[in-house]
Amino acid sequence: VEAEIRSNFPDMEVELEEGRHGVFKVFLDGKKIFGRIPLFGSFPREGEITDKIQNMMGNQ
């Protein structure tokens, strides 16, 4: 996911923070745009985070 964001948005700052217990979250400007909790979700499909970022940026 990090490589996808860096590739599609080279000017965007990407910060990684190690999660616990398999929890995976993606935030944009302080808003959660993706979240995964073990047993209840999956990791984002290819391009899903890019789509969400583009949608949020288009709504600003």
Output the pTM of the full model: 0.68
**The pLDDT value given to residue 59:** 65
Cα–Cα nearest to 59, from 38, 51, 10: 51
C-alpha distance from residue 47 to each of 3, 5, 30, 39, 53 (Å): 11, 9, 20, 22, 10
Quote the CA–CA distance of 60 and 45 in Å, as a whole number: 24
**For 9-49, what is each residue's pLDDT tens digit?**
999 888 877 778 888 888 888 888 888 877 777 788 899 99
Domain layout of the chain by residue ranges: 2-58
In sequence order, the 6+-apart residues with CB closer than 8 A to the CB of 42 are: 36
